[in-house]
Amino acid sequence: MEEGQLEPRQPCFLKKKGYRITLLDQATFPRDKVCGEFISPAADDIFSDLGILESINALNPTRLCGVALSSYESSYLQIDYPNTVDGRTMTSLSVERSMLDNLMINQVRNSSIQLMEGFKVTDLVLDGGNVCGVKGHDETKTKFSIKAKVVIDGGGRNSISLRRLNLRRGSPGKGKIALAAHWEGVKGLGRYCYMHISHPGYTGIAPVGYNRANIVLVVDRNYLVGVNVEQFFMTTVLGNRLRKRMLGSGIPVEKIRTVDSLAYSVKKIRCGGLLLVGDATGFIDPFTGEGIYLSLRSSQLAVGVVKNAFDKSDFSSRQLQSYDLIRQKEFRKKNILSKVLQRLIYKPYLCNRVVETLGTQKELSSLLVGVIGDYMPANKVVCFQYLLRLLGGMLNQRQPSFLPTKYRPPTKEF
């Protein structure tokens, strides 16, 4: 079951197990969605497990070989993805979200899954304190009700479960908003995901095709009060000298899209028959760009729990609570890292020192990128030893001058 934004990955996993599945979404495809369009390297293995990696590669997507990070136009760091322990060279997909969603929804349409587009879920069906289905209406306001042994809610921040069961818990701090647009005529980009930290927020730039890039700007929501959004986006993006040099004569080719980016956590589910996946499990402002991987991996974890529930014919909260334990174990330290990075990027002095230090400490920077890429365990970075080595490197570094260093674009040819 979906409500809000469709994530076709969950039913694709379940289909492989032979279950009868109904997938609902209030949208009718194709539809637009703001996304960084930069996918963690670890997602390749999951796409392969779903049997769609070859189809994705047939789209001729951009393959990125690492991350380039700049801090307040003063420090610059470019890191290639380190090889895996078994020697694999890692790259990450950078593909337009509309193309990826279209591929996946077509897979759903060509399967035995019942797809119901334009059906808005407005409530959960409860029986004895357990969820046993959903109800709502279609685009003509015709009502429907569907019974189910298990409801999997991947509706993100608009999840009916969060609202109906009062599960959403706000996080301290200012709400943020993401502004995004595709640009064309961008000729100076290498095969990297570019993350620029500078006032008043941070910007992600992902090459998604020939001279084409997806640009996402994230700022505090209050910066948009009473301003022209299009003008603010252009002024802020091009106000950074590195970005202006990189983007050259490129221009946006679509209207600026926006989406609230307010972090939140989720309370424990007390009823049976219900699982949450993706952003419905909680949301951290996405500096590290893990949204699609989170959806993929949490769906993969949920499938194992659903299989056990069907094997035992037990869909109680006690049976399904193992999913929360597995998911928390999987993501807890990565979430800690994401929160640390969110605090760091708004402290210019410290951020510059860290970026400069990582530039001289290849092993530390490679570990960080491997963890951000979701194929190295987060405890490699979220640990006392890593912190000690980072602090030692910072103490040995010269004090930053805060004079902007000349930007040198990648020289590596691809």
Residue 224, φ and ψ in degrees, nearest 5: -95, 0
Each of the 414 residues of the chain gets a pLDDT tens digit; together they read 433 334 555 555 565 556 789 999 988 887 778 888 989 999 999 999 988 999 999 999 999 999 999 999 988 999 999 999 999 999 999 999 999 988 988 888 888 889 999 999 999 999 988 999 999 999 999 999 999 999 999 988 889 999 999 999 876 666 889 999 999 999 879 999 999 999 999 999 999 999 999 999 999 989 999 999 999 999 999 999 999 999 988 999 999 999 886 678 899 999 999 999 988 998 876 666 568 898 899 999 999 999 999 999 999 999 999 999 999 999 999 989 988 998 899 999 999 999 999 999 999 999 999 999 999 999 999 999 999 999 999 998 765 444 344 444 444 433
Amino acid of residue 379: N
Torsional sign, CA 94, 100, 103, 108: positive
Secondary structure class of 99 (helix, strand, coil): helix
* Percent of the chain as helix, strand, coil, to the nearest 5: 40, 25, 40
| DSSP secondary structure, 108-120, as one string | HHTSS-EEEET-E
Domains of the chain plus CATH, in order, are 9-33+42-59+96-171+264-337 (3.50.50.60), 61-94+174-262+347-414 (3.30.9.100)
- Taking the whole predicted model, whether its pTM rises above 0.85 is answered as yes
Q: Residue 408 and residue 357: Cα distance in Å, rounded?
A: 18
